[in-house]
Amino acid sequence: YNLLEADLARPKVKENDFCGKAKHVEYRAREHQPAMLCTLVMTENVDSKGVARYPVGTMPVMDPKTGETLVDELGRRSFTTSMAYGPTVGKNI
């Protein structure tokens, strides 16, 4: 994943050369990015057998209807980069 997919890229690319500049410019030239960083909220933490689950860390993002892991147009599996309880919102985010 790159800065554009994480929505962390600056509006302009500096003129000076830097490590990774060619690849960064290549990614910027894409008509659209194949993936985008987003925030998810866990609405239920009970599995299909009724057992409460408290996931942490890197987990696959799955389609609730099919149970399949979501994949972007480049074939990369979608996953969470971190997960924790958010006391302010009272949910796992």
pLDDT in tens, the chain (93 residues): 788 888 888 989 999 999 999 999 999 999 888 888 888 888 888 888 999 888 777 888 889 899 899 999 899 998 888 888 889 988 888
User: How far is 72 from 78, CA to CA, in rounded Å?
Assistant: 7
Q: Rounded CA gap, 92 and 32, in Å?
A: 30
Scan for tokens 């696959």, then name that residue: 60
